[in-house]
């Protein structure tokens, strides 16, 4: 028998093992490429805005409502009890309520000058990102067509950094709103305690009711009217948005605050605008119906106030003031929830971009063309949501 030298046998064996190992490595790498390419295909629309439009709509609703509530509070004059006989202790309570009302107006000013622009800024982020995406779009398309992976990676990383910045900015605004809510809640609680009483101490409302037995009944009537009015208000906004028109167009961009009899009442202007804004027939009918009903209740409360004596008029103004502040607190809570979801969406988009960037190392150059459809779809989606975001960023105006 022919003997094979030991060294030759060893080399031959090593070559066999190395060949098998390399084949396994290549097979594994090829499998990894297939997996990554399949993963990319399954996330083919993740360069777009995703579901951030839902949080934008909720922000739109909250901001419009807070605009109206804050404008009403800011126009509310101090309660006038100069014609009502009061004792010295009761007059001190009136002074406290005047201080409460001033604090409420300060909060309304803070909303208008500080918080509202920040909330509008969350919509402007969407507009700005759409602009940035458009600026990078052709560069990315060219890089894909040239199979220039480093350039693709750089551009996507630039966009991802903006997504991270947006998330951080929204988080900062959330913290600002939480501080605003806490301060507003404390002052609103103080106002309510002075109006309704607390810890056995009589509030001004009870004092006024002692001078006019009809005040408790009138309070209940005002509460019912206010509750119904808020339903009409939210229905009006919901129908407007579902009909495809932004809140600003829906209400003509204007709220008139009418001050009469020592009380401020809001009127929403814009029925004609709603009819001209491209709403469907059903949406137009519902928007107009709820808008007219909303304004009709403002008129009803104003008439009740006009017919009342000084004591009853003061009670109506107090009740209306407390309810408006409660509404403002509630909407700030809802705005915080909506912005928290918006931050989550920015984070999710950032994660999607990160995954895509990582997948670039595994996608074969010949398969990079899959990215072109992704880019085009995302470009259209960002353009669509940007138009809606501009309406929110523009805000709402008020008339004296």
Asked if 247 and 277 touch (Cβ cutoff 8 Å), the reply is no
Please say whether the dihedral angle defined by the alpha carbons of residues 362, 365, 366 and 372, taken in this order, is positive or negative.
Answer: positive
pTM of the model: 0.82
- Choose between 245 and 392: higher pLDDT: 392
User: Which residues lie closer than 8 Å to 108 by C-beta, 6 or more apart?
Assistant: 70, 71, 73, 74, 328
Asked if residue 273 has pLDDT above 90, the reply is no
Asked if 395 and 67 touch (Cβ cutoff 8 Å), the reply is yes
Integer-rounded Cα Rg, in Å, for the chain is 31
120-178 pLDDT, tens digit each: 999 999 999 999 999 999 999 999 999 999 999 999 999 999 999 999 999 999 999 99
Question: Max CA-CA distance within the chain?
Answer: 131
- Residue spans of the domains in the chain: they are 1-33, 55-399
Provide the pLDDT confidence category of residue 239 given band limits of 50, 70 and 90: confident
* Burial label, 266 (beta-carbon count in 10 A; 0-12, 13-18, 19+): buried
Question: Token pair for residue 316?
Answer: 């109506």
Choose the CATH number for 55-399 among 3.40.630.40, 3.40.630.10, 2.102.10.10, 1.20.1170.10.
1.20.1170.10
- What pLDDT is recorded for position 278? 53
Kindly state the helix (H) or strand (E) to which residue 146 belongs, with its residue range: none
CA nearest neighbour of 83 among 313, 322, 304: 313
CA angle 154, 158, 164 (to 5 degrees): 140
Provide the pLDDT confidence category of residue 329 given band limits of 50, 70 and 90: very high
Asked if 177 and 189 touch (Cβ cutoff 8 Å), the reply is no
Q: Look at the chain and count its residues.
A: 400
Asked if residue 38 has pLDDT above 90, the reply is no
* Burial label, 30 (beta-carbon count in 10 A; 0-12, 13-18, 19+): exposed
* DSSP structure string for 70-91: HHHHHHPPPP--TTS---HHHH
């Amino acid at each position: 028998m022919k003997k094979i030298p030991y060294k030759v046998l060893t080399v031959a064996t090593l070559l066999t093992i190395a060949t098998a190992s390399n084949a396994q490595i290549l097979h594994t790498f090829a499998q990894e490429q297939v997996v990554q390419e399949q993963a990319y295909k399954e996330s083919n629309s993740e360069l777009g805005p995703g579901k951030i439009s839902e949080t934008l709509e909720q922000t739109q609703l909250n901001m419009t409502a807070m605009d109206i509530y804050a404008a009403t509070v800011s126009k509310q004059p101090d309660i006038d009890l100069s014609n009502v006989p009061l004792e010295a202790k009761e007059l001190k309570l009136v002074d406290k309520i005047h201080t409460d009302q001033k604090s409420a107006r300060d909060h309304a000013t803070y909303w208008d000058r500080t918080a509202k622009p920040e909330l509008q800024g969350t919509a402007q982020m969407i507009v700005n990102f759409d602009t940035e995406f458009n600026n990078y779009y052709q560069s990315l398309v060219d890089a894909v067509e040239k199979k220039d992976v480093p350039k693709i990676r750089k551009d996507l990383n630039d966009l991802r950094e903006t997504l991270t910045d947006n998330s951080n900015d929204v988080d900062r605004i959330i913290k600002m709103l939480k501080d605003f809510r806490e301060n507003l809640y404390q002052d609103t609680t103080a106002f309510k305690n002075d109006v309704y009483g607390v810890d056995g101490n009589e509030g001004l409302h009870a004092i006024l009711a002692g001078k006019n037995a009809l005040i408790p009944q009138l309070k209940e009537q005002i509460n019912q009217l206010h509750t119904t009015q808020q339903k009409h208000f939210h229905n009006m906004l919901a129908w407007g948005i579902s009909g495809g028109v932004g809140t600003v167009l829906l209400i003509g961009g204007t709220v008139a605050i009418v001050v009469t009899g020592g009380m401020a009442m809001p009127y929403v202007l814009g029925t004609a605008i709603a009819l001209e804004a491209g709403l469907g027939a059903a949406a137009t009918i519902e928007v107009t119906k709820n808008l007219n009903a909303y304004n009709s209740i403002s008129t009803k409360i104003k008439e009740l106030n006009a017919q009342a004596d000084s004591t009853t008029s003061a009670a109506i103004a107090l009740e209306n003031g407390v309810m408006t502040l409660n509404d403002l607190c509630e909407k700030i809570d809802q705005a915080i929830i909506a912005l928290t979801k918006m931050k989550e969406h920015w984070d999710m988009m950032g994660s999607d971009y990160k995954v895509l960037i990582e997948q670039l190392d595994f996608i074969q150059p010949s398969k990079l063309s899959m990215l072109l459809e992704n880019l085009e779809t995302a470009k259209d989606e960002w353009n669509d949501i940007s138009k809606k975001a501009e309406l929110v960023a523009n805000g709402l105006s008020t008339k004296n």
